[in-house]
Structure 1
Amino acid sequence: MTEVSAGAERDRIAGEVRHWLTRAVIGLNLCPFAKSVHVKGQVRYVVSDATDDAALFDELDRELRSLAEADPEQVDTTLLIVPYALGDFLAYNDFLYVADQLLQSLRLDGTLQIASFHPQYQFEGTAPDDIENYTNRAPYPIFHLLREDSIARAADAFPEAEDIYERNMETLRRLGHAGWLEWMAGKSDL
């Protein structure tokens, strides 16, 4: 792939993730904290070229360090998008353990955290097609790198933060699979 076509491919993938973020995460208010950083342009989208765990580990290491060193007013959160690796949810889930170990080895636990999104995301105790899983389903495997301080500030501003999970489940149950597809395609409003 030429550098120009690789750049266009990364732009296309990042565009799909932006659509998911604006339509699902923000549009359905699945994360009431996301809109502010999105509107302020403080979300960094990184499309990984990694095709194996070793290359992804190196890239995750760079992105964790980069976010920790970045001015929060410029970059508050990073979405590390992984289109060419970890397509299997169980492999992705196993890599999350490695990612958390990396966070600890960098002494960034308590400063940063990693949230997980995947096209096949499945909560424990759910069937693969349960609509509730769609709260964490994204177009590609994603490691969402977040600042603990930002989460604390957002939680203070949203007094019922512990209710978000249940509210999200209810929103998706109300939509159902057909409603989800229509919503994501921009064919319906709530």
Structure 2
Amino acid sequence: MSDAESSSNLPQPEAASTEAMVQATRHWVDTAVIGLNLCPFAKAVQTKGLVHYTVSQAQDTRSLLKDLAKELITLADLPPEQRDTTLLIVPYVLQDFLDFNDFLDDADALLEHLNLADQLQIADFHPNYQFAGTEAGDVSNYTNRAPYPTLHLLREDSIDLAVEAFPDASAIFERNIDKLEELGLEGLRKLGIAYGADKA
């Protein structure tokens, strides 16, 4: 599986400031996650300012694990009314999706080591995300494509509450694929969220 090229309008790590990376990620959340309603639970916490965006400066996985540990501990210590979720943006390491995917085992092991596995979980997004059994350009992959490799730290309690509020939560993924197939790659490009797609 070869990595696809990034969109031409995406700030590249070597040129983008931390602020630009956060803005690009916010645009993805507002336009894709909320705008296309890929996650019906996201709008409320974003509107209330309960989503924490932070950029890791790590150049290797050991440093990234340290940054991840810090963010996990901070999220667990803060009340949900102050911070419900964290998006840890990872621009300088794990650019290859397979490396990123392998790192997730280390991330889950860290959760266990910190005794936080019953409180928090980690979701993952990547500009070249590819589900098993799909082609790199399949539109279904765009449900998990973000401008940069991103670790999404979530509270188990918040997930439980969201599932209670949306009893058909298991159908969200299939609905999202239908929505993206209807929109198509050109539609994603027009919205500026065709991460990992061929340059327009």
In the aligned structure 2, how far is the partner of 1:152 from the partner of 1:184? Answer: 32
TM-score by length of 2: 0.87
The DSSP-based 3-state class of the residue aligned with 1:50 is coil
In the aligned structure 2, how far is the partner of 1:23 from the partner of 1:175? Answer: 13
The DSSP-based 3-state class of the residue aligned with 1:119 is coil
Instruction: Indicate the residue corresponding to 2:94 in structure 1.
Output: 86
Instruction: Indicate the residue corresponding to 2:80 in structure 1.
Output: 72
Residue 11, structure 1, aligned to residue 44, structure 2: no
The DSSP-based 3-state class of the residue aligned with 1:44 is strand
In the aligned structure 2, how far is the partner of 1:97 from the partner of 1:174? Answer: 34
In the aligned structure 2, how far is the partner of 1:120 from the partner of 1:44? Answer: 23
In the aligned structure 2, how far is the partner of 1:154 from the partner of 1:40? Answer: 16
Report how far residue 183 of structure 1 moved: 2.5
Which of 181, 185, 190 matches 1:173?
A: 181
Counterpart of 1:38, as a letter, is Q
Instruction: Indicate the residue corresponding to 1:129 in structure 2.
Output: 137
In the aligned structure 2, how far is the partner of 1:125 from the partner of 1:69? Answer: 39
- Please list every run of 5 or more consecutive structure 2 residues that lacks an aligned counterpart in the other structure: 1-15, 194-200
Report how far residue 105 of structure 1 moved: 1.0
Counterpart of 2:150, as a letter, is I
Report how far residue 184 of structure 1 moved: 2.9
Q: Is the 8 A contact 1:118 1:137 kept in 2?
A: yes
**Bigger RCO of structures 1 and 2 (CA < 8 A, at least 6 apart):** 2
In the aligned structure 1, how far is the partner of 2:115 from the partner of 2:138? Answer: 37
Counterpart of 1:128, as a letter, is A
Counterpart of 1:34, as a letter, is A
Pairs within 5 Å for 1:45-56? 45-56=53-64
Pairs within 5 Å for 1:73-152? 73-152=81-160
In the aligned structure 1, how far is the partner of 2:64 from the partner of 2:101? Answer: 14
TM-score by length of 1: 0.92
* Count of residue pairs the alignment pairs up: 179
Residue 61, structure 1, aligned to residue 69, structure 2: yes
In the aligned structure 2, how far is the partner of 1:118 from the partner of 1:110? Answer: 25
In the aligned structure 1, how far is the partner of 2:80 from the partner of 2:70? Answer: 17
The DSSP-based 3-state class of the residue aligned with 1:12 is helix
The DSSP-based 3-state class of the residue aligned with 2:17 is helix
Q: Is the 8 A contact 1:24 1:184 kept in 2?
A: no
Q: Is the 8 A contact 1:43 1:75 kept in 2?
A: yes
The ranges of structure 1 where at least 4 consecutive aligned residues each deviate by more than 6 angstroms after the TM superposition are none
CA RMSD of aligned residues (A): 1.3
Residue 183, structure 1, aligned to residue 191, structure 2: yes
In the aligned structure 1, how far is the partner of 2:54 from the partner of 2:159? Answer: 21
